Amino acid sequence: MADIIVQAFQQAINLIASGDPEVYATVYRTIYVAGLGTLLSCVWSIPIAVVLGLYNFRGKWFIKGFFNALIGIPTVALGLLMYLLLSRQGELGSFHLLYTLNGIAIGQAILVTPIIVSFTANALGTADTQLRDLAKTLGASGFRTNLTLIRETVWSMVLSVTAGFNRGFGELGIATIVGGNLLGETRVLTTAIALEINFGSFDIAMAYAIILMAIVLALALTISLIERVRQEDGLWNKMPFWRGLGGS
C-alpha cells in the first residue's frame, strides 16, 4: 500500500510536470462545471435562504426541513433524474444538454442548492439578536435591519458557497450519467479516477485523486487565510490606540 501511495505521488507530479494537455483540460473541466454549477445555484439559493432566514411565515419549518433532507440526496439518483429530463425523449431534450459540460453544471447546481440554502438560512436565522434590536432602536426600517444582518453574515454565506463548490467538485454520479465521461469533452477528475480504476491503473487513479484533493485543500487553506486576515483586520481596527493614529 505504501508503495502504491509513493508511486501515486510520483505519478501525480509527473502528470503535472509533463504538461499533458488532457490532464490540464480535465482539471479545467472539473473546475468549470463545479464553478458554473455553484454560481447558477447562488442565483436562486441565496434569495431563498434570505427569505427562510429572515422572515416568518406558515410552512417555513417544512421548507427548511425539506432542504435539510435534500443535502444527503444520492448523486446517482439525481444524475438519473437529470438524464431522463435531458434525454431526447425528456422534457428538456430540446436544449441538447445531455453529454455536455453545461448539462453536468446544471445537475451540480441542483445538487448544491440544499447546502447553500440550509447553511445560509441557518446563519441568518441565528444572527445576533442584539444587533437586530439595536438596529430597530436606532430607527432602522425592517428592510434596513435585514440588510444589516445580511452584511454581518456575508462570511457565513461565503463558507456555504464554498461547501457547495466542494460538493460539486468531488461528485461522481451526475458527471458520469449526464456527462458520459467522453474523452476530451466531458471527462472530469472524478470520472477519470473511476475509469482508471476500471482499467486497473491504480497508480494513475491515485494520481488524479491527489490532484483533486490538492485543489480542494488549496481552496480550503485560501478561505482559512482570508478569514484569518479578516479577523486580524477587525481586531486591529477595534484597538483604540491604532484607531487614534489612523485618524490623526
Residue 142's pLDDT is what? Answer: 67
Higher pLDDT, 81 or 141: 81
pLDDT of 139 higher than 90: no
> What integer pLDDT is reported at residue 129 of this predicted model?
61
Averaged pLDDT for residues 17-21: 84
- Give yes or no for residue 22 having a pLDDT over 50: yes
Instruction: Tell me: pLDDT of 248 over 60.
Output: no
Confidence of residue 204 (pLDDT cuts 50, 70, 90): confident
Give mean pLDDT, residues 48-61: 91
Under the banding of pLDDT at 50, 70 and 90, the label for residue 15 is confident
Q: Is the pLDDT of residue 1 over 70?
A: no
At 3 the pLDDT is 76
Residue at grid coordinates 457565513: 156
User: What's residue 205's pLDDT?
Assistant: 87
Report how far residue 156's alpha carbon sits from residue 154's, in angstroms, rounded to the nearest whole number. 5
Q: For position 245, what pLDDT does the model report? A: 42
- Separation of first and last alpha carbons in the chain: 63
Backbone angles phi, psi at 212, to 5 degrees: -60, -50
According to the model, what pLDDT value does residue 230 have? 77
pLDDT at position 71 is: 94
> What domains, with CATH codes, occur in the chain?
2-217 (1.10.3720.10)
> What's residue 212's pLDDT?
93
* Average per-residue pLDDT for the chain: 87
116-128: average pLDDT: 87
- Residue range 216-246, pLDDT digits in tens: 999 999 988 988 887 777 654 555 543 444 4
Distance (Å, whole) CA 138 – CA 246:
27
The pLDDT of residue 46 is 95
Can you give the pLDDT at residue 70? 95
- Tell me the torsion sign for CA atoms 193, 38, 162, 55: negative
Q: What is the pLDDT of residue 29?
A: 97
Please report the pLDDT score of residue 127 as a whole number: 72
Residue of 156 and 245 predicted with greater confidence: 156
pLDDT tens-digit series, residues 78-92:
999 999 999 999 999
Ordered alpha helix ranges (H), the chain = 2-17, 21-54, 60-70, 75-86, 101-125, 129-137, 142-152, 154-169, 173-177, 189-199, 202-238, 240-247
Looking at residue 37, its pLDDT comes to 97
Residue 126 or 199, more confident: 199
